[in-house]
Amino acid sequence: MIIDCDTCVMRDLACGDCVVSVLLGPPGAMSAGFDSEERAALEVLADCGLVPPLRLVPKSA
């Protein structure tokens, strides 16, 4: 999974409550990538309330 904050419709609306911002800092010109095992681990942490969930909502083409 590639996470590109520049293509997220929630950018600047939910960044403060997104796991990407918590783990990697506020969005910039970079994109983050998580493999399936890392994404599953983040989902477990979010389900337990330890980190916010991924708020990525990609823009439609």
**DSSP assignment of 14-55:** SGGGSHHHHHH-S--S-EEE--HHHHHHHHHHHHTTSSPPP-
At residue 28, the pLDDT reads 59
**pTM of the entire structure?**
0.48
Q: Computed from CA positions of residues 1, 13, 10, 49, in that sequence, does the dihedral angle turn out positive or negative? A: positive
**What element of type H or E holds 4?**
strand 2-4
Per-domain residue ranges for the chain? 2-47
Q: What is the pLDDT of residues 8-59, one digit of tens each?
A: 888 888 888 888 877 776 665 445 567 788 878 888 988 998 888 877 766 7
